[in-house]
Amino acid sequence: MSDLKSIDIHGIMNLIPHRYPMLLVDRIISYEPLKGIVGLKNVTMNEAFFQGHFPERPVMPGVMIVEAMAQTGGVLIMQEFENIEEYIIFFMTIDKVKFRKPVIPGDQLRMEVEVVLFRRNLAKLRGSAYVEDRLVASAEFSSMLVKKDEKK
């Protein structure tokens, strides 16, 4: 993926609604609209989930790694819409999840997410998470963008 653009934490927070302790993307280092995106998460001992997972041997929960990949994909997808403040993005499916290596404090998680399918308000994405050059997790997931004021 070409290094077309980067996005700092302020730009990320303008695109997705997540905040501490659930904001799991620190920086976007590159993206190409409707193609793919690369994001970073600096994993520190200060993460709230390390208090219980596991105090004696901290390991980032796999679901948080998947969430970090999904948030990275959300940053890419949200840029395709005008008036993004009127929308929220929701998970629809998570498939083909594989965890290959524990992620621990001090690691920098690099999420690479590519668009598999994008139609109107639906997106299917494929994500891979790396520490250095080693694959630590992968998943496919789909999301739906919904107007905040729509009735459920």
How many Å apart are CA 22 and CA 41, to the nearest integer?
12
CA 127, 132, 137: angle at the middle one, nearest 5?
A: 30
The amino acid that residue 98 corresponds to is K
How many Å apart are CA 90 and CA 70, to the nearest integer?
10
Catalytic residue among 5, 27, 53, 124: 53
Identify whether 18 is a catalytic site residue. no
Active site residues: 53
